Amino acid sequence: MIDFELEPELAKGVSAARQFAEEQLRPISRYYDEHEHENPDELIDRMWELRRENIFSLGLDPAAGLRTEELCWGDAGLYLCIPGPALGGAAVFSSGTKEQIGKFLGNFNEGRPKWGAMAMTEPHAGSDTAAISTTAVRDGDEWVLNGEKIFVTMGKRALEDSDGFVVVWATVDKSAGRAGMKSFVVPAGTPGMRVEKMEKKLGIRASDTVTIVFDDCRIPFDHILGSPEVKKTDKAGTKGFKGAMATFDATRPIVAAQALGIGRAALDFVKEELERQGITIRYGVPRQSLTALERDIMDMEASYKAAKLLTLRALWMMSQLQPNSLESSMAKTKAGLAITKITQKAVEIMGPLGYSRKYLLEKWMRDGKINDIFEGTGQINMLVTARRVLNYSREQLK
């Protein structure tokens, strides 16, 4: 029998996250949705202290996924404000050496709140990450970066923090295609790197999303993650491109867990409202005898549970250092689809009240959709899944 019980210490962390979400995040959820770009300073300070106490440790394991779910049940946008290396840190772990991991991440639990970010997407290169055109040219003992990155999550906070950094994906040799793609750590305050624009978004509004421009931005030579060597004969791409994909293998299950939190918030709310109205969901009754409402609720629950099992599996494999490219893409895809279905159906069930701003349902529907888009769209993850299942190469299945 599969045992899903957590060890007491891990269960304590999940319970603490649930309490924090209920007491600290949910009450201010609407305020920061309506005051986009306003910084929740007091909340950030509280989250930083809890993170330093390892209560908000957001590692890559099933318990971390459960903590993420709880926090996003409170508010997904505010969850993304938690100080830490975030996606940039995952890139350093995936592509950097032990020395680089120690150098760039070793002090992230010290002092005041600090952030990391990752910059990959460009105006003309979204899902096709191999098409990036930001360049990195070696000049003696330095790299010179030029280009523009868009939709950088937490980019503003990372650049405003003197200890923050941004991991930038750039090409050192355009003629080499994916093999020329490398990642570079650019510390906050580096001349030539600036925030050009802050996005106004449909959802997760408490999280800043920015455009960053690199204009003759110089960084030390050893800030490249991995080897600077380019092997043009390597059709699969060198460690640079593979490092980017490994980063997503690590973080896509966490994105799936974010979706689970939002989906469960919507599902919990609808069930509580139905119960308040005296409507009982009859489990154990043949499907043909159920009402349409009962079938809807059960379908929503089934989608949520299927996504959760896939997410836990992908996270467990990561914690065991097992390759999880297929499983992480499956979890991300299923969670993105499930969250869209669950939140939209929740709004539909509640009717005009679900569409109004009286409740948070319409916000959860807006917040949820991003989980089907960022860190690899649902379509891209379906493509990755198909390639893995069919054992097809990128050239065989596009």
Per-residue pLDDT reduced to its tens digit, 275-288: 999 999 999 999 99
Closest to 183 measured CA to CA, from 279, 283, 89, 313: 89
Q: What are phi and psi of 183, to 5 degrees?
A: -115, 145
Which CATH architecture is the domain 8-83 placed in? Orthogonal Bundle (1.10)
Of the pLDDT bands very low, low, confident and very high (cuts 50, 70, 90), residue 59 is low
Confidence of residue 142 (pLDDT cuts 50, 70, 90): very high
Q: What is the mean predicted confidence (pLDDT) over 187-214?
A: 96
> What residue spans define the domains of the chain?
8-83, 88-234, 241-390
Which of 6-15, 69-78, 118-127 has the largest mean confidence?
69-78
Closest CA to 369 of 263, 217, 267, 283: 263
At residue 1, does pLDDT exceed 60?
Answer: no
pLDDT of residue 12: 87
The reply to whether 8-83 and 88-234 are identical in fold is: no
pLDDT tier, 234 (very low <50, low <70, confident <90, very high otherwise): low
CA geometry: angle 120, 126, 130, nearest 5 deg: 70
Predicted confidence at residue 57, as pLDDT, reads 62
In this prediction, residue 131 has a pLDDT band, given cuts at 50, 70 and 90, of confident
Catalytic residue ranges:
375
Q: Which fold has domain 88-234?
A: Butyryl-CoA Dehydrogenase, subunit A; domain 2 (2.40.110)
Say what the pLDDT of residue 109 is. Answer: 77
Q: Is 154 helix (H, G, I), strand (E, B) or coil?
A: coil
Range list of β-strands (E), the chain: 116-119, 135-139, 142-153, 165-171, 181-187, 193-198, 209-220, 224-225
pTM of the model: 0.92
Q: Are 192 and 216 in contact, with CB atoms under 8 Å apart?
A: yes
pLDDT-derived band at 108 (thresholds 50, 70, 90) equals confident
Choosing among 1.10.260.40, 1.20.140.10, 3.40.30.10, 1.10.10.10, the CATH entry for 241-390 is 1.20.140.10
